[in-house]
Amino acid sequence: MKRLLIAVLAVGASFAQADTWVMANNGGGQVVLTDRLCKGYKHVYYAYTHTPKFYMDACWALMDGKVHVVYENGERRVYEMNDFVQDQVTPKKKGTAL
């Protein structure tokens, strides 16, 4: 699993498909990592978290073998790569940024 997530990160925007990785959060929702570029960055990717009553955008990157997420409210979190599982693959355009 680690190797697959690292491979997604290494070539992220060049895939013909968009990969989504998810992890349950404490609010009954998920932290979602995508391989889409985070707007305004070349090597940082778009993420978001949600619960039934809450949604927040974020950006993420892999550093030192950990998933580092910075949420739009400025909160920073570090997660283990193994906590994420692949969720879905959907068509996308090469290099699409949000």
In a domain, 97, yes or no: no
Which H or E run contains 4?
A: helix 2-11
In a domain, 8, yes or no: yes
In a domain, 96, yes or no: no
In a domain, 98, yes or no: no
**How confident is the chain (98 residues) per 10-residue block, as mean pLDDT?**
46 54 94 94 95 96 96 96 83 49
Nearest to 4 by CA among 43, 42, 25, 33: 33
The pLDDT value recorded for residue 18 is: 62
Full-model pTM? 0.72
Please compute, for residue 66, the number of CA atoms within 13 A of its CA located in the half-sphere on the CB side.
8
The pLDDT value recorded for residue 87 is: 86
Number of domains present in the structure of the chain? 1
Give Cβ neighbours of residue 42 (< 8 Å, ≥ 6 apart): none
* Residue numbers of the domain that contains 39: 2-91
Could you count the other beta carbons within 10 Å of the beta carbon of residue 18? 17
In a domain, 84, yes or no: yes
